[in-house]
Amino acid sequence: MRIIFMGTPDYAAPTLEALHQAGHEIVAVYSQPPRPAGRRGLEVLPSPVHRIAERLGIPVFTPKSLRNEQEQAAFRALEADAAVVVAYGLILPKAILDAPRLGAWNGHASLLPRWRGAAPIQRAIIAGDTETGVMIMKMDEGLDTGPVALTETVAITPCMTTGELHDKLSAVTAELMVEAMARLETEGLLPVTPQPDDGITYAAKISKAETRVDFSRSAQQVHDHVRGLAPSPGAWFELDAAGRSERVKLLATELADTRLHQVGPGTALDDHLTIACGEGAIRLLTLQKAGGKPLAAGDFLRGTPVPQGTVIG
């Protein structure tokens, strides 16, 4: 089929490559405009999807908006059979959704209607969900409200991080979208089922304000928060070391099997980074100082001791 692919980050890249390998004619790729990159933002880089499209010899378009008539006319002129959308990052107006002969199809990383929106992977882990998945839906003008064609469920294991789940769901999205487009090509349609009205939740983008670890929460909630933000942007806490406050990123934890403690949240219960929480305790496993590399707890403590009774937060 003639397909327009619309995507931006690493998550979407396997789907583009899989559709190309499946023999579809990718007539164009739409991606977010190149952004400043690097520590100082001095280098402007195209998105991961943009770079793959260039390698495959596919024309790339990076409009800042698709709401003007000129962009919509250019989109229609591509005469696509279908549009495939995976983590694109722009709202698609009705004129764009209606342009492809067989519609626009989105690969979304949640079990809709749970976690509609921008950050479904992170939100599922932070909330302590034990499963999520991928859904292929026919897009409408709402926010992830379209009817669903295909679903695959994925388990979230107790220590799985957002990075690990991201890679798993990215691969599943590619497989499921290839199946969806194959069926659409051979059958000319893809049966869909409306989303239920119950169980709707929204996955708002992660804000900087919510990345700080709150040890007054339960150990389970702290653990889920840390793995939901790992490896990026990363949860963090402040530690007084060598007479100054230092921000430390926390990349891995485990629930600690400890007796009841009578100290305040954020207090070290031993010399091995077992930290009291509002309920229970947690052990810090992988930590990273600003400008440093991730370190296992033992290596971190050799350079920065955290003796029993230290309060962090």
Q: Residue 110 annotated as binding?
A: yes
Task: Please tell me whether 112 is known to bind a ligand.
Answer: yes
* E strands present in 52-127: 60-61, 82-86, 104-108, 116-117
Q: Which two tokens stand for residue 185?
A: 């090509």
Q: Please, are residues 5 and 19 in contact by the beta-carbon 8 Å criterion?
A: yes
278 touches 265 (CB < 8 A): yes
* CA within 13 Å, CB half, 65: 4
DSSP class of 11:
G
Q: Is 31 annotated as a binding residue?
A: no
Instruction: Check whether 239 is labelled as a binding-site residue.
Output: no
Which string of b and e fits 185-198 if b means at least 16 CB within 10 Å?
beeeebebeebeee
Comparing C-alpha atoms, which of 216, 210, 211 is closest to residue 267?
A: 216
Binding-site positions for (6S)-5,6,7,8-tetrahydrofolate read: 110-113
Binding residues: 110-113
